[in-house]
Amino acid sequence: MIGFEKTVKHARILNPLKNFEEDTITFEYRTDPLTGRNTTVIKGMLNYVSRFLTSDSEALNVLVEKTRVNCPFCPESVKTKTPMFTPDFLAEGRIFVGDAVIIPNLLGHAEQSVLAILSREHHLKLREFTPKLLFDGFKGSAKYLKRLSQVEPQIRFPAFVFNYLTPAGSSIFHPHMQILARDRPFHLVKLLMEKSQAYYASNKSSYWLDLTSKEKEGERHLLETGDVEWLVPFAPLRGLNEVQAIVKGKSNLLELSDREWRGLAEGISKILEFYHNQGYISFNIILLSGPLNEHLDYFDVNLRMMSRPGIQPFCFTDAWALPYFLWDGEAVEEPEKLAERVRVFLKEKKK
């Protein structure tokens, strides 16, 4: 059974902003229902850090123009400046689907490190990531994975990663997604698979199925898009507008049909529109898969996305020691409050 456990703690201070009156700060220690990892929810923190999350539009524009000059991913350079697959892997050298171009990475992060260039535009605002653009990128990447599974079936753990703009860790401005594939899972995937298997063994049911049915219609649920459920996690990993998606009943990326790829694309596009509406310009996404060549009843393909700080001369980063080194989670707002804000936005948009 899934439990949502939290403990509330308080700190008392004499607050200089309130004429040194006694003030109480509230912390919630929340336990991730699958992994047991702690995330501390700090009420009022979003308001406190919000000045670092906005962007200086002039600084952003300068960077857009500066990086456009020698960008290898812009349409005029993509065929002359980007790597190609070797002929034994793919005779055509690159995969094209709509505006998406799939290429090997020049210097990657795994033995199979591939990029999906998503757009002909050098820079997109977050509301300009359309479902079609994301869907084409996914379809091209799925084509690559299919070829990979034929040529090198032992490389069976893929993860899709978006780092959009420098605050999200990207060195290239032009919108793109990474496809990383290895013979061994990334640490988080391994942990989730192990914990999911243990849950299955003791509960005789899938954690992911139990989670989606428990959260459905609840205070953290956001929407459903073609068999993909969207929610705000009870104990976020990083906690800045973090959203989770679960592709129901599919354990690896090669099992996904167009309906599910479209569901992911539509959901991402909607959440990015929400981020845009809140003034954000940068984000990360991870899309996690079980092993390619087998179906796991206890694991579902799942996604996490979050907004990142803005571009400003102050160079603030939210990648500080607590999440980086101490491996704890921290959320700057109650997940239920974020879910409410997203739901209100989606409802307003429909009108």
Q: How many CB atoms lie within 10 A of CB 350?
A: 6
Name the nearest CA neighbour of 345 among 259, 252, 276, 293.
Answer: 276
Interface with Zn ion includes 214 (CB under 5 A)? no
Query: Which of 34, 74, 165, 288: binder of Zn ion (CB under 5 A)?
Result: 74
How many residues are listed for the chain in this entry? 351
The tokens describing 100, both together, are 């998406």
Give, as ranges, the residues between 104 and 123 that touch Zn ion (CB under 5 A).
122
Interface with Zn ion includes 271 (CB under 5 A)? no
CA atoms in the 13 A half-sphere facing the CB of 224: 9
Which residue type is seen at 334?
A: E
Nearer to Zn ion, 122 or 337 (CB): 122
Nearer to Zn ion, 79 or 259 (CB): 79
Interface with Zn ion includes 71 (CB under 5 A)? yes
Least Å distance, CB 285 to Zn ion, is 20
35-49 burial: b if 16+ Cβ within 10 Å, else e: beebbbbbbebbeee
Give, as ranges, the residues between 121 and 140 that touch Zn ion (CB under 5 A).
122
Least Å distance, CB 130 to Zn ion, is 18
Name the nearest CA neighbour of 13 among 3, 2, 1, 23.
Answer: 23
Interface with Zn ion includes 73 (CB under 5 A)? yes
Interface with Zn ion includes 143 (CB under 5 A)? no
Stretch of 67-75, 130-138, 179-187, 309-317 lying at the interface with Zn ion (CB under 5 A): 67-75
Least Å distance, CB 73 to Zn ion, is 5
Nearer to Zn ion, 176 or 276 (CB): 176
Stretch of 71-79, 217-225, 259-267, 319-327 lying at the interface with Zn ion (CB under 5 A): 71-79
198-232 burial: b if 16+ Cβ within 10 Å, else e: ebbeeeeebbbbbbbebbeeeebbbbbbbbbbbbb
Write each residue from 164 to 193 as x if it is in contact with Zn ion (CB under 5 A), else as -, in one continuous string: ----------x-------------------
Tell me how far CA of residue 336 lies from CA of 30, 37, 80, 133, 292, in angstroms. 13, 19, 48, 30, 34
Nearer to Zn ion, 18 or 79 (CB): 79
Nearer to Zn ion, 112 or 119 (CB): 119
Cα–Cα distance, 131 to 274 (Å, whole number): 14
Least Å distance, CB 174 to Zn ion, is 3
Residue with tokens 């040529």: 151
Tell me how far CA of residue 80 lies from CA of 20, 75, 83, 336, in angstroms. 64, 10, 8, 48
Nearer to Zn ion, 74 or 285 (CB): 74
Helices 131-151, 258-277: crossing angle, 10 deg rounding: 130
Interface with Zn ion includes 230 (CB under 5 A)? no
Interface with Zn ion (CB under 5 A), residue total 5
Least Å distance, CB 66 to Zn ion, is 11
Q: Which residues bind Zn ion (CB under 5 A)?
A: 71, 73-74, 122, 174
